[in-house]
């Protein structure tokens, strides 16, 4: 069997590449060893947002009196929340499969192995291809902490399927995944402790806004332990004999330990580089082992393209989607290049925090001059109407030539309005040019216009 394009991995990069190539009339085979949609759709972006929305609805009901609405006997049903999450995932997976099938993509379920740059083997069958696109995604990284092999702990996958709430939860890692789960379990009444090695949560996001979000959740009862190194984990027992986990740590104040009913390991993810014959291609790698690609997503061997987490640029689904489009457009002979200048990042807590472009810390490291324009979200009438007693901030970073180089928002719905700033940054609009854009009124997005 011979194809113009073979794709390994059916996550956002893989299924986007397959759909784009199939729609253009190319013959395509897509290999996926588990479920279409990859981590994002099955155990990442979509299921976590489904759970977080249920938590948000629960919070809205509990605090409805702020808006002169009275709701009595508010409660939640965790097994039904989990069941709804599974229903949403199934529906979207079927949607992805339907779109691929409609465009003539041959979906092969199984573990693919690369024989050479033009040959892939799967399930005893051999597939030949003119172009090979690698989209193998990433996996949870479990750090080599003493005792990690002897103590039961959750990964994000376990936390997504859990149907019984623990009284207390310790989370190792204050990145996006850890903080979103902290938000979810905090809303449902769990005592949450977040242990982070860095001096602030959400590394990579705007530090000032991250600190504000942390302060908000600290008020809601989450305990944050920053600049804290986990030394070991071990089994323990509560006073009434209930099994617990003990997390021993060290920080500037000395050594100590956190006891919790459950432990969530959330220190990050790493690209999948083993198990599919990557070593048979002899591709050039970075110092960290990621695959080197050019602006067209081409690897060092002609006919090989790499998209998504395997490049190590940005372990985000929307980045992977764009990389896949660039790769297929290059195969088709269409001029297109990948830009990482305006990749949005979002944390779907309540309130949300989102950023795009450069942070202050990044600009300072690069020696780029900039000025900061900062406004409370209360300058947006729509925000005030929908966020009683809640504060938020919009921060814009402006270069010497008056182009927007960074935008960061704390407050709902940051995830929905950040793209407007991303477009301004990608298109290199000046403050004068962006201010000429007409924003609908009243909308929260008007905060950008107010800030200029």
- Asked whether residue 403 is marked as a ligand-binding residue, the answer is no
- Asked whether residue 175 is marked as a ligand-binding residue, the answer is yes
- Asked whether residue 309 is marked as a ligand-binding residue, the answer is yes
- Asked whether residue 9 is marked as a ligand-binding residue, the answer is no
- Asked whether residue 177 is marked as a ligand-binding residue, the answer is yes
- Asked whether residue 176 is marked as a ligand-binding residue, the answer is yes
- Asked whether residue 91 is marked as a ligand-binding residue, the answer is no
Question: 């929305």: which residue's tokens?
Answer: 53
Q: Please, what's the b/e burial string for 385-416 (b: 16 or more CB within 10 A of its CB; e: otherwise)?
A: eebeebebbbbbbbbeeebbbbbbbbbbbbbe
Phi–psi pair at 180, nearest 5 degrees: -65, -40
Q: Which of 70, 318, 329, 441 is catalytic?
A: 441
- Asked whether residue 137 is marked as a ligand-binding residue, the answer is yes
- Asked whether residue 179 is marked as a ligand-binding residue, the answer is yes
CA 383 remoteness from chain centre: 25
- Asked whether residue 431 is marked as a ligand-binding residue, the answer is no
Nearest to 276 by CA among 107, 140, 138, 136: 136
- Asked whether residue 173 is marked as a ligand-binding residue, the answer is yes
Measured distance CA(383)–CA(210) in Å, rounded: 20
For the question of residue 408 being annotated catalytic, the response is no
Strand partners, 2: 128
- Using DSSP's 3-state secondary structure scheme, residue 207 falls into helix
CA 353 remoteness from chain centre: 12
Q: Please, what's the b/e burial string for 336-359 (b: 16 or more CB within 10 A of its CB; e: otherwise)?
A: eebeeebbbbbbbbbbbbbbbbbb
Nearest to 155 by CA among 65, 268, 233: 268
- The angle at the Cα of 324, spanning 320 to 329, to the nearest 5 degrees, equals 150
Residue numbering of the annotated binding site for FAD: 49, 136-138, 309
Residue numbering of the annotated binding site for NAD(+): 173-180, 196, 268
List residues with catalytic annotation: 441
Residue numbering of the annotated binding site: 49, 136-138, 173-180, 196, 268, 309
């Amino acid at each position: 069997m011979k194809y113009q394009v073979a794709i390994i991995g059916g996550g956002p990069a893989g299924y986007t590449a397959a759909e784009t190539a199939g729609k253009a009339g190319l013959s395509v085979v897509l290999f996926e060893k588990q479920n279409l949609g990859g981590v994002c759709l099955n155990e990442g972006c979509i299921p976590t947002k489904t759970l977080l929305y249920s938590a948000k609805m629960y919070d809205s009901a509990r605090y409805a009196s702020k808006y002169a609405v009275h709701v009595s006997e508010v409660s939640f049903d965790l097994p039904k929340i989990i069941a709804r999450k599974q229903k949403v995932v199934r529906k979207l997976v079927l949607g992805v499969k339907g779109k691929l099938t409609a465009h003539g993509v041959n979906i092969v379920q199984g573990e693919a192995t690369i024989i050479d740059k033009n040959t892939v083997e799967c399930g005893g069958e051999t597939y030949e291809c003119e172009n090979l696109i690698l989209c193998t995604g990433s996996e949870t990284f479990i750090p080599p902490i003493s005792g990690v092999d002897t103590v039961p702990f959750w990964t994000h996958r376990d936390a997504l399927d859990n149907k019984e709430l623990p009284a207390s939860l310790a989370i190792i890692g204050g990145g996006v995944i850890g903080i979103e789960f902290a938000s979810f379990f905090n809303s449902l009444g769990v005592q949450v402790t977040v242990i982070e090695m860095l001096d602030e949560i959400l590394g990579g996001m705007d530090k000032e806004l991250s600190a504000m979000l942390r302060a908000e959740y600290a008020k809601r009862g989450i305990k944050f332990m920053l600049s804290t190194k986990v030394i070991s984990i071990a089994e323990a027992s509560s006073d009434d004999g209930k099994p617990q986990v003990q997390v021993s740590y060290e920080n500037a104040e000395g050594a100590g330990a956190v006891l919790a009913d459950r432990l969530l390991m959330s220190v990050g993810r790493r690209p999948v580089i083993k198990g599919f014959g990557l070593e048979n291609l002899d591709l050039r790698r970075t110092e960290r082992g990621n695959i080197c690609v050019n602006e067209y997503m081409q690897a060092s061997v002609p006919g090989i393209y790499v998209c998504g987490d395997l490049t190590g640029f940005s372990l985000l689904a929307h980045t992977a989607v764009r990389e896949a489009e660039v790769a297929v457009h290059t195969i088709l002979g269409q001029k297109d290049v990948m830009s990482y200048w305006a990749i949005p990042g979002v944390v779907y807590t309540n309130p949300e925090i989102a950023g795009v472009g450069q942070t202050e810390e990044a600009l300072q490291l690069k020696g780029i001059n900039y000025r900061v324009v900062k406004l409370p979200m209360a300058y947006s009438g729509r925000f005030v109407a929908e966020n009683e007693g809640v504060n938020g901030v919009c921060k814009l970073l402006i270069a010497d030539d008056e182009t927007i180089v960074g935008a960061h928002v704390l407050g709902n719905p940051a995830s929905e309005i950040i793209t407007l700033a991303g477009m301004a940054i990608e298109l290199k609009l000046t403050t004068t040019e962006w201010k000429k854009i007409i924003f609908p009124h009243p909308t929260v997005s008007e905060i950008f216009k107010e800030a200029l």
